[in-house]
């Protein structure tokens, strides 16, 4: 199994030099000269009733493309760019779903959480293969031993601040946006990292369609049992749960449910992270604004303060 069980005792990791670097690695490989990595495994993450398919893809980079939790890899799918014949395909960015040590804890792999992008014709309701996502289908269809061109690592906005091991981290994900948070949580609760002994609170909100669509649920549930004082996990299942107005339960409805607590934590310096499809943000922002106003606060002022304090981290696509 590439999606490792979260064991009771923490797992030893190597090489320890990966934690002695002071600055995150950035853009070691560029689109013009990508790194050729190898697919280790591709595993379907979702059950039969999930709309669409999401895969966990482990890539062997041989230790040559190191990264930190919260960064992304670029993937260049094979073939030529349909918009620029003769040129390679453009880079697609994917948030990395593993810690810097990878799922095999040896610093040689990175994992991606990829939803296969398919297009349904609105008139016929049938799938149109000519419009399917080139890169997500390439990755989900790949087999162990296949080669994959990667770039990066990229991104600094979602790096996990580790200066205070007692900090609170509120993570809000929709679908594959859970990827960076899986990395954070493995670092906090699964791996034995000498430079980072987490003793704060990690609170994950995950929004998906239904129970079969949950991603890494077993891993997260394990942390809940092992670290009940340091981990909270709330799920919004839009096709199975109802919000207080009898509508579908989205992640912003869960945020509203716990809004008092969340605002108090933010006032106390908590970090808040958002990752997923960009369509998630307007609903969340509206909810936060409404809650702030009910509390007699200006959301615009609060948001600019959170950004100024580097407590607000958003990566949407």
Q: What is the tens place of the pLDDT at every residue in 122-132?
A: 787 777 777 78
Phi, psi of 237 (to 5 degrees): -110, 100
Taking only Cα atoms into account, the Rg of the chain, rounded to an integer number of angstroms, comes to: 20
What pLDDT score was predicted for residue 121?
73
183-219 pLDDT, tens digit each: 999 999 999 998 999 999 999 999 999 999 999 999 9
Nearest to 13 by CA among 112, 103, 111: 103
CA distance 91 to 24: 21
Assign 3 a pLDDT band (cuts: 50, 70, 90). very low
Q: Are strands 109-115 and 191-192 parallel, antiparallel or unpaired?
A: unpaired
pLDDT of residue 130: 73
Flag whether pLDDT at 312 surpasses 90. yes
> Using 50, 70 and 90 to split pLDDT, how confident is the model at 163?
very high
Q: What is the pLDDT of residues 211-229, one digit of tens each?
A: 999 999 999 999 999 999 9
Averaged pLDDT for residues 296-303: 96
Write out the catalytic residue numbers.
94-95, 275, 315, 317
What's the sign of the alpha-carbon dihedral 9, 228, 281, 115?
A: positive
Residue 287 has pLDDT above 80, yes or no: yes
- What is the residue-wise DSSP string for 113-140? EEE----B-TTT--B-GGGS-HHHHHHH
- The per-residue pLDDT for 206 is 98
Q: Are 201 and 217 in contact (CB under 8 A)?
A: no
Name 112's bridge partners.
57, 96
**Residue 2: which pLDDT band, with cuts at 50, 70 and 90?**
very low
Confidence bin at 140 (pLDDT 50/70/90):
very high
CA distances from 111 to 105, 178, 189, 306 (A): 12, 12, 18, 30
pLDDT at res. 247:
95
């Amino acid at each position: 199994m590439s999606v490792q069980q979260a064991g009771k005792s923490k797992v030893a990791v190597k090489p320890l030099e990966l934690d002695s670097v002071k600055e995150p690695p950035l853009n070691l490989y560029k689109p013009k000269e990508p790194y050729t990595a190898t697919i280790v495994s591709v595993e379907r993450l979702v059950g039969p009733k999930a709309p669409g398919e999401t895969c966990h893809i482990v890539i062997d980079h041989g230790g040559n493309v190191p990264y930190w939790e919260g960064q992304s890899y670029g993937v260049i799918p094979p073939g030529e760019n349909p918009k620029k014949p003769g040129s390679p395909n453009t880079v697609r960015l994917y948030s990395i779903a593993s810690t810097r040590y990878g799922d095999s804890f040896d610093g040689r792999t990175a994992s991606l959480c990829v939803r296969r992008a398919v297009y349904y014709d609105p008139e016929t309701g049938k799938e149109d293969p000519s419009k399917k996502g080139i890169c997500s289908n390439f990755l989900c269809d790949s087999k162990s031993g296949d080669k994959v061109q990667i770039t990066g690592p990229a991104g600094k906005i979602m790096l996990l601040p580790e200066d205070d091991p007692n900090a609170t981290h509120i993570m809000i994900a929709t679908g594959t946006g859970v990827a960076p948070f899986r990395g954070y949580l493995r670092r906090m609760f699964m791996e034995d990292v000498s430079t980072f002994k987490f003793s704060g609170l990690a609170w994950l909100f995950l929004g998906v369609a239904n129970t079969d669509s949950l991603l890494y649920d077993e891993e997260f549930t394990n942390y809940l049992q092992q670290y009940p004082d340091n981990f909270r996990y709330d799920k919004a299942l839009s096709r199975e749960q109802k919000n207080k107005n009898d509508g579908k339960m989205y992640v912003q409805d869960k945020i509203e449910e716990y809004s008092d607590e969340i605002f108090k934590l933010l006032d106390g310096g908590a970090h808040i992270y958002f990752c997923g499809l960009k369509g998630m943000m307007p609903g969340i922002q509206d909810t936060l604004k409404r809650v702030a106003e009910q509390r007699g606060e200006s959301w615009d002022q609060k948001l600019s303060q959170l950004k100024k304090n580097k407590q607000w981290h958003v990566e949407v696509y």
